[in-house]
Structures are given as structure tokens and as C-alpha cells.
Structure 1
């Protein structure tokens, strides 16, 4: 949150949320090719969902300023 303007903060958070989605895709791929164990993959997927929700909440907060 060290960006100088609300617009910059929002943009940074949107990029972060996109990166989180990309990580989720890579986890699914890793699980599909048996590189990532299923139990660990499910744990990581849940964590990425939670992080994405937190980022969405922060974005919504900035939208309401």
C-alpha cells in the first residue's frame, strides 16, 4: 500500500490478484501431471482463493473511497 495514489494502489492490487490466479493455474497443472501432491495442491488452491478474496476486498475498499 505504499503507492502514492488510490488509482496506483488499485492497479497494483489488480495485478496481484491476476498473479494469484496464474499461480492457481500452475498448481492445477502441477497436480494434473503428478508434480504436486493432491493434498498439498488442494491446500495451496484454498490458500490462493483466500488471498484472492482478500485482494478483492482491498480493491472494493479502495473503490469506495
Structure 2
């Protein structure tokens, strides 16, 4: 039986993940197609919480929130 990772590989929304940049304001920018997920609540000081600059992107919030301060 295949694992979920084999069926739908997903990357955490972390600065160390391929195609992901995290800015000091907290904004996350996704620049490559793929499936991503939040690992914790996201708080941004300005701008967008998540900016997607590629097609074919899915984001799973996994019950976490995105908020602005």
C-alpha cells in the first residue's frame, strides 16, 4: 500500500522548502507548483499572508490560521 506522501507529496511552508520564501514580515511566497501545508499559525505584520506566484499550487492550512497584526 502506498503512503500519502507517495500519492500526494507535500512540502511544509518553511523557508527551507523548495519553492518557498519566508520574509521578515511573515509573508510566505510560493514560487513553484506543488502541494504545501502550514506547520503552525501564521501571523504577518504587513501585506499578504501567502502569495502564490505559480500555477498548480494547493495549500492545506491543516486547521491553522493566518492573521495580521
Q: Which fold has the larger relative contact order, with Cα–Cα distance below 8 Å and residues 6 or more apart in sequence?
A: 1
The structure carrying a bigger strand percent of its residues is: 2
**TM-score if structure 2 supplies the norm length?**
0.24
**TM-score if structure 1 supplies the norm length?**
0.25
| Structure index of larger Rg | 1
The structure carrying a bigger helix percent of its residues is: 1
